[in-house]
Structure 1
Amino acid sequence: MKRWIAIVLVVGTLGGIIYYNKVLHPAPGATPGGGGKGGSEKGGKGGPGGGGPASVNAFVVVRKNLQEDIVSGGSLLAAEQVDIYPEISARITQLNIHEGQPVKKGDLLVKLFDADLRAQLLKLQAQSENARRTEERNKQLLARGGISQQEYDIATTNLSSSLADIELVKANLQRTEIHAPFSGIIGLRNVSVGAVVSPNTLIARLQQTSSLKLDFSIPEKYASAVHNGSTISFLIDGSNQPSHAVVYAIEPGIEEQTRNLRIRARVNNTSSRFRPGTFARVTLTIQNEQSLVVPTQAVIPQTRTNQVIMVKNGKAVFKDVKTGLRTAGLIQVLSGLSVGDTIATTGLLFLKPDAPVKVGKVVSLTENGPKVAAN
């Protein structure tokens, strides 16, 4: 019984306190019972919780040329490069390789031992001369009926075989000489005169460095913006001065693993400023024709699309838009808007479809991006 009395007293006390605060002494600006339309400072007219139109900054859609810089890592490569290997196993008798020095196309770089092949060539030449004389005699005898056609055919075959053996030895003699396939700079040699080399022995490397190739990749969505003749800039470590290259080849397909497009540009290196193998930070500037733009903060990302809030006839209208290039302050609009449309840039979280909207300030477009116009 005592416990029920205590519970009744507690409930009565709490009820009295609530009645005193809500009815006898209500909060300033509120009617007894919590009714009325007057809002507090936080929820008054024009605020997030008020009934009046929300005040927002707006931007009038215009056309502007946009450009986007794509940064990618690339590598400088020699225009032409070849590793020099011998074709046969033999001893080096002559080595005309001066490390780090230029060579011209056709210069003799390496000469291998060939005395045995030259002796074999002399032998075959003597045999072929004898076979030729035999063929001529048999030809005369055949004309007079002194021999059969079969005997003459044997003499002709012997002559042809001797001539073929001579050509084979000459081909082997050519393998004892290594000539520069193009003009370039010879690298460090790995052998000396007198060394016995095999087809697996790397003698040196020849590179053509008067012009270099710059290989890099870009995401597939920018593939249509790059073409032969496009100019790119790049930086190498240890240099703050950007250099330029011209695109001359584009891979026809996209790499399946990275979804990137491989591009190759040509770099003028007549001053020998760059070295093959150098890492380069490539910047590709993508220019776009005049297109509709809106401030970055005006676009609301959605799951499958993007939206902007257009102010039309004093009300908020939500519009789906398709976007393109993006810079620090602007986004390209491909569809969904027209020139002159007014777009809200502030208060986006508090606006609802068809809600009343009042434009407070208009955002103007400057060279550095959108800027609120001065009152």
Structure 2
Amino acid sequence: MTTFTKRLLTAIIIVLVGALAFYPKLKPLLAPKPDEKAATGGGKPGGDAKGGGKASVDVMVVNMQSLDEKILTTGTIIPNEEVEVRSEISGRVTGIFFKEGQYVKKDAVLLRINDADLQAQLQKLLSNKQLAETNESRQKRLLEKEAISRQEYDIAQTNLNGILADIENLKVQISKTVIRAPFDGTIGLRYISSGSYISPASRIATLTNTNPAKLDFSVPAKYAQLVRQGSKIQFLVEGSSRQYGGTVYAVETKVDPETRSLLLRAVSPNNDRTLVPGAFARINVVLNSHGNAIVVPTEAIIPEQAGQKVFVVRNRKAESVPVEIGLRNDRTVEIRSGLHVGDSLITAGTQLVKPGGEVDIRNLN
């Protein structure tokens, strides 16, 4: 080992020993001053109330709201009336009198089937009817003169009655060649064309009436005694933020033993036809209405050993207020005492505040 290397190692060792010896005395001088630590929020982003800074909170102004006891469920929109348009007889289509998506009135003609053969049969029966009426009239006069037996007259009368019955039956068959709308509604897609040969198995189109709309939904069996005809519902459908209302008008007579739920059906006005059959609906069933009350978000309630409390803002400072709660659901809680209309309630950021601490209101609802 060279002389230079020995001297270098010796210098490094001396420096390290000196640093270790003097570090405890230099440590207090390197620590941040207390006022600098407070200015930076105690090392925490934003600085909370416990570190001396203002706590950022969301606030809502307390007011009276309608308080309803509700249960949340889901359901499906169904039409008021719906039918697959089919023919009662077989034949060739001679005319189609509707367009796909068209709104039609009750008894509007939708389709005609060729009835030429039936009309010919009818004309033949009408001719036979005239002959039978003439024969029956003649036999009746002869019977009155006792020129023939009662049996001979009965044969003539039976022949006439049979022809009359055949005429009525044929007229019914002819009426079936004209297909009419059974109720007001909208025609869906068409599945046949003019000139097609159709039978009772042939699907022509679907006619749907959606005003009013209906909803099928179910509730747990434990609510069976609370939901009845006339119960009110509120619901939303997918793709829309509009809230609709309805009324329960039919209740199943028994609880489903497999799902332990009760099936109900409600009706809702649908004048603008925005409720489409088959759509998924989120439904609130109103069990009881309790009038107006103070209602606050669930997250604003802070449980403690003696009960519950909330924080309100007064003079830009947080103040703890004990409250008595009432009805609650998954989102809101009724406040029976402790809060008053007009109070500024802290709804978010409660974990950052302390009684008497200053707050910074970032959102006001």
Cα distance in 1 for residues equivalent to 2:307 and 2:284: 31
TM-score scaled by structure 1?
0.61
Off by >6 Å, runs of 4+ in structure 1:
327-330, 343-346
Question: 1:365 matched to which residue of 2?
Answer: 324
Q: Which residues in structure 2 correspond to 1:45-60 (within 5 Å)?
A: none
Cα distance in 2 for residues equivalent to 1:112 and 1:186: 19
Cα distance in 1 for residues equivalent to 2:325 and 2:258: 41
Q: Which residues in structure 2 correspond to 1:1-375 (within 5 Å)?
A: 68-287=69-288, 364-366=323-325, 368=333
What secondary structure sits across from 1:194 in the alignment? coil
Structure 2: state its 5+ residue gaps.
Answer: 1-65, 292-297, 309-320, 327-332, 339-354, 356-365
TM-score scaled by structure 2?
0.62
- Cα deviation, residue 241, structure 1: 2.7
Relative distance call for 1:369 and 1:289 in structure 2 (3 A) is closer
What secondary structure sits across from 1:118 in the alignment? helix
- Cα deviation, residue 329, structure 1: 11
Contact 2:231 2:286 in 1 (8 A): no
- Cα deviation, residue 370, structure 1: 8.4
Letter in 2 for 1:257: E
Letter in 1 for 2:192: V
Relative distance call for 1:234 and 1:66 in structure 2 (3 A) is closer
Cα distance in 1 for residues equivalent to 2:275 and 2:80: 12
- Cα deviation, residue 286, structure 1: 2.3
Question: 2:44 matched to which residue of 1?
Answer: none
- Cα deviation, residue 154, structure 1: 0.7
Identity of matched residues, %: 42
What secondary structure sits across from 2:111 in the alignment? strand
Letter in 2 for 1:229: G
How many residues matched?
A: 248
- Cα deviation, residue 265, structure 1: 1.1
Letter in 2 for 1:82: V
Relative distance call for 1:328 and 1:289 in structure 2 (3 A) is farther
Relative distance call for 1:216 and 1:127 in structure 2 (3 A) is same
Letter in 2 for 1:227: R
- Cα deviation, residue 168, structure 1: 1.2
Relative distance call for 1:71 and 1:135 in structure 2 (3 A) is same
Letter in 1 for 2:219: I
Letter in 1 for 2:193: S
Letter in 2 for 1:365: E
- Cα deviation, residue 369, structure 1: 6.4
What secondary structure sits across from 1:224 in the alignment? coil
Write the deviation string for residues 311-353 of structure 1: whole angstroms up to 9, x where unpaired. xxxxxxxxxxxxxxxx9999xxxxxxxxxxxx9879xxxxxxx
Relative distance call for 1:328 and 1:152 in structure 2 (3 A) is farther
